[in-house]
C-alpha cells in the first residue's frame, strides 16, 4: 500500500492481509492519507476468510497500531475520528461474535485482549470481550497497620474468602492472561491461598504482593515451587529506622532475612521464577532510602525495585507526600535510575514530578480497566478496578459473567471516560483516564475525591465504626 495506491482496493487488500510493513507507516503520517487507508481497510475488516486465517494472531499488533494510529494527536480531527470509529466498529462486529467460539484457548485469550482495547477505545458499554486480567482477594485482613495504608485509618470486619468465591474465580481462568492475588490484605493469612495458587492457570502471569513477615522456610519453598510469576515484597525502606517509621513495627531485619530466604530457595531449586521485587512507596519519610534499597536488592539478589508515590487518602497524611518536595523527588528518582543501571537491577517508577505538568489535563487517553479487569473481593463484592471506583454486591450464586454484563457495570463503563466532573469521583484523579501526571496535586491527593465517592451511597465496604485497638499479629 503506498501513498497513491491507498485508493486502489486490490493493493490495499494486499497490504492489509500481508502485514503492515515499515514503509506503510511513513505513508500515513498525514491525516488525509490515514483517512484514505481507513476507508480502504474498513470493508476488508468484515471479510469472513480473513478472520478464519490462522495467521490472524501475527496481524493483531499491526492491526491495533493501525486502528489507533496517532489516536491522541488527531483526536480533535472530526473526520479522522469518525472514519477511525467506523473501522473499529467493523473490526468489533466481525471479531466479537466469534470470540467465545474460537477453538484454541491461547488464541482466544490473545484476541480477547486485543478486542478489549478496541472496545475500550469505542466506549462500548456491552462488550464482547471478557476480562483478560483479574484480582482475586482472598483476605482483607493484615498483620500490619502501615501509616499510609487504609488498614491503619479505616476499620471494618476483616474477611476471609470462602470456597464459593474461589469457585467464582475458577470459571474466569480460561480467559485470563494475568491473575493477581493482591489487595488490601496480607494474602499469606488467607486459608484458601495455598489451594488457589495450586489451582492457578499455568497460562496466566501470576502476581503476589506480601509484606514478607510470614515467609518462613515452608512458605518460601511453596511460593517458589508453584506457579507464581512475580513475588513483590513491600518493604518501603533500606534501614531499620525508616522501616519502623513507614510500617509501624521493628521488623526490617526479619523481612530482609526472609527475602534472602526466597533467593536461596530459588538458587537451590534452580528456578528462574518468581521474579523477586521490592516495593517502595516514596514519601518524605523514606526518600533517602530509595537508592540504598536498590543497592540492597542487588546485594541479596532481588531482580527489581518497584517504586510508587504515596497516595494520600486522608488529610492527616498529606504532609508525607513528596509532592511538596518535587525537585528533590526528581533528583532521587534520577539517582535511583542511574544506580539501578549500574547494578543491573530493574527499576520501575512513574513519571517524574515535573512542575510544568501542574494543572495540565488531557482527555486523549482512555482508561481500559472496565474492559480488561475484574476484581473479586474477599467479602463477595465485585469491583471494577484496583481503586474500587465502583463496586457491586452480587449474591453468591451470581457468576462473574452476569456481573460483567450487568446494567450496573455497563453504567460504569458509560461514565468512566467522560470529561470533567461527569466521570466517577475516583476516576478524575486517575492517571489512566485523565493523564494527570505526578507533577499535579491530583495525582497524589484523593481525600476530597473519596468524600464525594462516598457522599450518596457508602460504596466502600470498609467504612464502619472504629473497633478495638490493633496489635500486629505474629510479631
CATH code at position 404:
3.20.20.70
Residue 159 inside a domain? The answer is yes
Residue 6 inside a domain? The answer is no
CA–CA separation, 435 and 430 (whole Å): 7
Tell me: pLDDT of 159 over 90: yes
Residue 4 inside a domain? The answer is no
Least confident of 154-168, 268-282, 351-365, 416-430: 351-365
Tell me: the pLDDT tens digits for 375-401?
A: 999 999 999 888 877 888 888 988 999
Residue 291 inside a domain? The answer is yes
Residue 87 inside a domain? The answer is yes
Same domain, 178 and 248: yes
Same domain, 337 and 259: yes
Tell me: the pLDDT tens digits for 243-293?
A: 999 999 999 999 999 999 999 999 999 999 999 999 999 999 999 999 999
Same domain, 92 and 147: no
Q: 100: exposed, middle or buried (C-beta count within 10 Å: 0-12, 13-18, 19+)?
A: exposed
Tell me: pLDDT of 72 over 50: yes
User: How many structural domains does the chain have?
Assistant: 2
Boundary-marking domain end, from 99, 122, 145:
122
The mean pLDDT of the chain is 86
> 177: closest CA among 202, 198, 140?
202
Query: How confident is the model at residue 130, as a pLDDT?
Result: 97
Let me know how long the chain is.
475
CA–CA separation, 38 and 415 (whole Å): 28
Same domain, 63 and 152: no
Q: Which three cell numbers stand for residue 172?
A: 474466569
CA R_g for the chain: 24
Tell me: the pLDDT tens digits for 42-66?
A: 887 777 666 665 666 677 888 888 9
**Full residue range of the structural domain in which residue 229 is found:** 132-474
Same domain, 118 and 137: no
Same domain, 177 and 114: no
CA–CA separation, 247 and 235 (whole Å): 8
Residue 9 inside a domain? The answer is no
Same domain, 400 and 286: yes
How far from chain centre, in Å, is Cα 342? Answer: 28
Where is 375: in which H helix or E strand?
strand 373-376
The answer to whether the CB of 257 falls within 8 A of the CB of 242 is: no
Q: Which three cell numbers stand for residue 303?
A: 531482580
Same domain, 336 and 273: yes
Same domain, 235 and 183: yes
Same domain, 444 and 301: yes
Same domain, 90 and 155: no
Mean pLDDT of 196-223: 97
Mean pLDDT of 172-179: 97
Q: pLDDT grade, residue 446 (50/70/90)?
A: confident
Question: Can you tell me which residue has the cell 491522541?
Answer: 72
Residue 1 inside a domain? The answer is no
Query: How confident is the model at residue 4, as a pLDDT?
Result: 33
Same domain, 324 and 426: yes
Tell me: pLDDT of 467 over 70: no
CA–CA separation, 179 and 208 (whole Å): 9
Tell me: the pLDDT tens digits for 109-152?
A: 999 999 999 999 999 999 999 999 999 999 999 999 988 888 88
Q: pLDDT grade, residue 20 (50/70/90)?
A: low
Antiparallel, parallel or unpaired: β 391-392 and 382-383:
antiparallel
pTM of the full predicted structure? Answer: 0.88
Boundary-marking domain end, from 74, 96, 122:
122
Least confident of 89-93, 223-227, 337-341, 359-363: 359-363
Tell me: the pLDDT tens digits for 177-189?
A: 999 998 789 999 9
**In 215-370, where do the E strands start and end?**
230-234, 275-282, 304-309, 346-348
Residue 304 inside a domain? The answer is yes
CB count within 10 Å of CB 334 equals 12
Tell me: pLDDT of 10 over 50: no
Boundary-marking domain end, from 122, 152, 187:
122
Amino acid at each position: 500500500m503506498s501513498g497513491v495506491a491507498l485508493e486502489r482496493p486490490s493493493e490495499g487488500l494486499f497490504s492489509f492481509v500481508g502485514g503492515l510493513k515499515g514503509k506503510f507507516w511513513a505513508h500515513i503520517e498525514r491525516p488525509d492519507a490515514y483517512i484514505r487507508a481507513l476507508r480502504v481497510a474498513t470493508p476488508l475488516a468484515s471479510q469472513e476468510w480473513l478472520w478464519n486465517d490462522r495467521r490472524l494472531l501475527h496481524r493483531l499488533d499491526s492491526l491495533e497500531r493501525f486502528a489507533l494510529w496517532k489516536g491522541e494527536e488527531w483526536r480533535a480531527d472530526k473526520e479522522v475520528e469518525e472514519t477511525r470509529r467506523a473501522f473499529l466498529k467493523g473490526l468489533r462486529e466481525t471479531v466479537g461474535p466469534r470470540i467465545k467460539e474460537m477453538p484454541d484457548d491461547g488464541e482466544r485469550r490473545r484476541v480477547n485482549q486485543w478486542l478489549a482495547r478496541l472496545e475500550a477505545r469505542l466506549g462500548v458499554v456491552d462488550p464482547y470481550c471478557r476480562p483478560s486480567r483479574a484480582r482475586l482477594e482472598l483476605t482483607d485482613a493484615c498483620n500490619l497497620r502501615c501509616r499510609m495504608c487504609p488498614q491503619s485509618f479505616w476499620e471494618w470486619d476483616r474477611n476471609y474468602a470462602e470456597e464459593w468465591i474461589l469457585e467464582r474465580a475458577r470459571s474466569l481462568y480460561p480467559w485470563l492472561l494475568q491473575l493477581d492475588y493482591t489487595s488490601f490484605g496480607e494474602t499469606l493469612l488467607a486459608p484458601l491461598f495455598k489451594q488457589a495458587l495450586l489451582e492457578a492457570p499455568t497460562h496466566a502471569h501470576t502476581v503476589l504482593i506480601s509484606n514478607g513477615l510470614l515467609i518462613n522456610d515452608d512458605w518460601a519453598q511453596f511460593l517458589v515451587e508453584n506457579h507464581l510469576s512475580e513475588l513483590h515484597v513491600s518493604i518501603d525502606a533500606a534501614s531499620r529506622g525508616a522501616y519502623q517509621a513507614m510500617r509501624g513495627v521493628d521488623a526490617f531485619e526479619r523481612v530482609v532475612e526472609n527475602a534472602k530466604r526466597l533467593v536461596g530457595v530459588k538458587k537451590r531449586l534452580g528456578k528462574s521464577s518468581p521474579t523477586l521485587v521490592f516495593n517502595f512507596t516514596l514519601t518524605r519519610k523514606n526518600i533517602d532510602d530509595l537508592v540504598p534499597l536498590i543497592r540492597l536488592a542487588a546485594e541479596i539478589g532481588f531482580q527489581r525495585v518497584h517504586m510508587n508515590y504515596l497516595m494520600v487518602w486522608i488529610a492527616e497524611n498529606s504532609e508525607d507526600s513528596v509532592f511538596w518536595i518535587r525537585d528533590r523527588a526528581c533528583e532521587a528518582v534520577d539517582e535511583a535510575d542511574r544506580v539501578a543501571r549500574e547494578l543491573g537491577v530493574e527499576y520501575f517508577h512513574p513519571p517524574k514530578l515535573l512542575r510544568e505538568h501542574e494543572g495540565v489535563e488531557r482527555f486523549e487517553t482512555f482508561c481500559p480497566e472496565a474492559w480488561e479487569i475484574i476484581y473479586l473481593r474477599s467479602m463477595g463484592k465485585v469491583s471494577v478496578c484496583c481503586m474500587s471506583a465502583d463496586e457491586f454486591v452480587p449474591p453468591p450464586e451470581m457468576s462473574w459473567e452476569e456481573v460483567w454484563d450487568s446494567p450496573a457495570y455497563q453504567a460504569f463503563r458509560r461514565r468512566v471516560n467522560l470529561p470533567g466532573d461527569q466521570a466517577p469521583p475516583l476516576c478524575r484523579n486517575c492517571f489512566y483516564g485523565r493523564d494527570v501526571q505526578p507533577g499535579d496535586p491530583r495525582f497524589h491527593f484523593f481525600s476530597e475525591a473519596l468524600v464525594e465517592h462516598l457522599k450518596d451511597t457508602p460504596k466502600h465496604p470498609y467504612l464502619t465504626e472504629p473497633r478495638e485497638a490493633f496489635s500486629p499479629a505474629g510479631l
